Structure 1
Amino acid sequence: MSTLKVGVIGCGSIARYRHLPEYHANKNVEIVAVCDIVPERAEEMAKQYGATAYTDYQELVNLENLDAVSVCLPNYLHAPVSIAALNAGKHVLCEKPMATSKEEAEAMIEAAKANGRKLMIGHNQRFVASHQKAKEIIESGKLGKIYSFKTTFGHGGPEGWSIDGADSWFFNKEKAFIGAMGDLGVHKADLMRYLLGEFSEVGSFIETNAKSYSEVDDNAVCILRTENGVIGTLAASWAYAPGGDNSTIIYGENGILKLEADPEYSLIEEYRNGEVVNHKLSKIQTNEEGGQTTSHVIDHFANCLLTDKEPLITGEEGKKSLEIILGAIESMETKKIVSL
């Protein structure tokens, strides 16, 4: 295929600020269809991008002239809609968290395999320049043995970002299933797996203590242990106002890596011998910039389809990152450390 024909299901903020403009900017992609249960939203986006508007996702996924879809819907719809699209022979890019249970995630992976289609999960943290550089440094052995880490993703909450504000599905347990942990924590779980390998255990404190209208968690702190004994903390919050925090610090035998922890330098290497290396790299994405930055997710997905390569974040990868979050919920419920 020379031009990729795509459809976007869900015309809320993530579609408006990420998927649609990034597909539009890719010269190998044509947006042919958009879908939203609110007809005005679908029509507005269809008009903007020269696509056809739908209100029923089944109609969209069954279109013949369609190669792939982005699933930009509330969390509880990720699995059913992705599976319907895969069964209709379409490749799928699904927003995170990929599903609301391990079973759902497995059903998505199975549907991709059965239909010979690609399934990618939108974990954009792996594409951030500082994170890729940190992986390179860790793998080079320069840091020596890794001992510990702390990673944080917090901002003022989705009401400032979501198209529905405080009435957003993000705060509805039935639709979201999980709050800051699913919105932000799963990103950091994926990042730490990417940098440090698989995790074996998780413990957590998960609270709803910042937003009275929220039925889901808005503050969470987890302790994690990798299979080879690196221990650290992961915090996810919708209560970091006015400024957000998207930083990670990695502590090793020979020094420390600071990722997105400094306003000027995206990555700082500090070593025991006094050496300091400051990296000015392209900035991590934030929602505050009005979506002017690129997530690289769309370009990667399109490139994988056009060149028939496996995406960096397959369904299996998405599932492993989701399982850390599911383990954290279980830990909070049982008051025990959970084996993954």
Structure 2
Amino acid sequence: MSNDNIIRVAIGGQGRSGYNIHAKQLNQMPDKFKIVAVADQLPERRRDAREQFGAEAYEDWQDMIKAGGFDLFVNALHQPLHPVASIAALQEGGHVVCEKPTCKTVTQFDDIVQTARDNNRVFAPFQNNRLQPYFDKIQEIINSGVLGKIVYIRSSWGGFSRRWDWQTRQENWGGGLLNTGPHPVDQALCLFGFERTPSVFARMDCNNPFEGDADDHCTVTLYDPERQAPQIDIVVSNYLHYPQNDTYTINGTYGGLTGGSSALKWRYFDPEKAPKHDMWTWSVNRQYTREELDWIEETWTLEEEKKSNTPSVSLESGPERFYNNIYDALKNNCELLITPAQVRKQIAVIEESHRQNPLPKK
């Protein structure tokens, strides 16, 4: 492939996400991307960038952006820098992929989107979990209609852990909702329907035993006052001593689903074949109503899908699928799988949740 077809990438930040997710994935796609520059404050990370990727290494992300020579800026910097660095890169003529959380407020988000429009650049928020195989399967099952109208969804993300790192501090945009939360909130909005705007009820708390002051327990409920979309309860907590193995429990009028990233199971009945009943105006024989339904039960596992003879794009990892789409968007003018308009709704939910729960600062 000619160099004209290679997208030159500059990465801001080489921490957990910048290195373990973005740099590693991009380095595995040499026919589409080349990491040409990296910025990080730590000298050992700059050394790794030079040795592993052959990239120019900068201590200051601003110097890297001003130097230019890249097509795509991957913003995995310290979280409070996400808005300002994204805008700076767009103004210098680069396209931008931004790690979550892209912003804390809708106003910040709108400023980035407007800057992208003004400079005719692509702004692509990074949401790798929406593109995972299990979530594709969940949406497929729901869209098939076998579960009926979806009434209630529970999404549980967490376990038990004590943390004493920078992501426990409000000043660093820390806390469970801003760090883990963008994943379940994004997926919840997919299931709620992006065409609808949810009402939000949230409760957040901090019980960090060290110096953290950001939320480490959070519940968010999305609901539709018109009751057309399901009620969705999201739990993001460090205090789930006996966490549920199933990330999702989905309940509809004809059936339900439970499971997570490696396996799903669901059962449903055919309403056309279900018994017909006349309404009781009193308790017949002093009993509750009872019936026998012919349940149909199905399962899905990631391992079985991988072994099937029909390769699926959804079996690519979330980052791989995301960056293949970024390449197609930049080189072939394809639509983004994760659009700014969709992520704007996520930011609105997170902003409203924080508005309802001002936590004291340490």
Alpha-carbon deviation of 1:43? 2.3
Q: Distance in 2 between matches of 1:91 and 1:74?
A: 19
Q: Distance in 2 between matches of 1:267 and 1:6?
A: 37
| 1:191 counterpart = 2:187 | yes
* Residue identity opposite 1:117 in structure 2: R
Q: Distance in 2 between matches of 1:49 and 1:242?
A: 42
Q: Summarize the Cα distance change of 1:130–1:5 in structure 2 as closer, same or farther, 3 Å threshold.
A: same
Alpha-carbon deviation of 1:275? 1.1
**Partner secondary structure for residue 97 of structure 2:** strand
1:24-103 equivalence runs, <5 A = 24-26=27-29, 27-103=31-107
Alignment match, 1:203: 201
Are the equivalent residues in 1 in contact too, given 2:146–2:268 (CA < 8 A)? Answer: no
Q: Deviations over 1:272-331 (max 9, x none)?
A: 431111111269xxxxxxxxx653333332332222223222222222111111111222
Alpha-carbon deviation of 1:156? 5.0
Q: Deviations over 1:259-283 (max 9, x none)?
A: 307xxx5221211431111111269
Are the equivalent residues in 2 in contact too, given 1:68–1:92 (CA < 8 A)? Answer: yes
Q: Summarize the Cα distance change of 1:322–1:244 in structure 2 as closer, same or farther, 3 Å threshold.
A: farther
Q: Distance in 1 between matches of 2:246 and 2:327?
A: 27
Q: Distance in 1 between matches of 2:73 and 2:215?
A: 29
Q: Distance in 2 between matches of 1:244 and 1:25?
A: 34
Q: Summarize the Cα distance change of 1:142–1:92 in structure 2 as closer, same or farther, 3 Å threshold.
A: same
Q: What is the aligned-residue RMSD (CA, Å)?
A: 2.5
Alpha-carbon deviation of 1:235? 0.7
Alignment match, 1:215: 213
Are the equivalent residues in 2 in contact too, given 1:184–1:237 (CA < 8 A)? Answer: no
Are the equivalent residues in 2 in contact too, given 1:74–1:170 (CA < 8 A)? Answer: no
| 1:306 counterpart = 2:331 | yes
| 1:324 counterpart = 2:349 | yes
Alignment match, 1:255: 255
Q: Summarize the Cα distance change of 1:246–1:94 in structure 2 as closer, same or farther, 3 Å threshold.
A: farther
Give the TM-score normalised by the residue count of structure 1.
0.85
Q: Summarize the Cα distance change of 1:29–1:241 in structure 2 as closer, same or farther, 3 Å threshold.
A: farther
Give the number of aligned pairs. 315
Percent identical pairs in the alignment equals 25
Alignment match, 2:20: 17
Q: Distance in 1 between matches of 2:303 and 2:118?
A: 39
Q: Deviations over 1:124-167 (max 9, x none)?
A: 121011111211222222221110100122145595xxxxxx3x
- Deviates further, 132-141 or 28-37: 132-141
**Partner secondary structure for residue 302 of structure 2:** coil
Alignment match, 1:267: 264
Q: Deviations over 1:18-73 (max 9, x none)?
A: 00010001131111000012233222223211111011212222344210011112
Q: Deviations over 1:47-103 (max 9, x none)?
A: 211111011212222344210011112221110000001111111110111102111
Alignment match, 2:298: 277
Give the TM-score normalised by the residue count of structure 2.
0.80
Are the equivalent residues in 2 in contact too, given 1:156–1:244 (CA < 8 A)? Answer: no
Report 1 or 2 for greater relative contact order, CA contacts < 8 Å, sequence distance ≥ 6: 1
Q: Distance in 1 between matches of 2:328 and 2:166?
A: 32
Structure 2, unmatched stretches of 5+, are 270-293, 305-316
Q: Summarize the Cα distance change of 1:133–1:257 in structure 2 as closer, same or farther, 3 Å threshold.
A: same
Give the structure with higher Rg (CA).
2
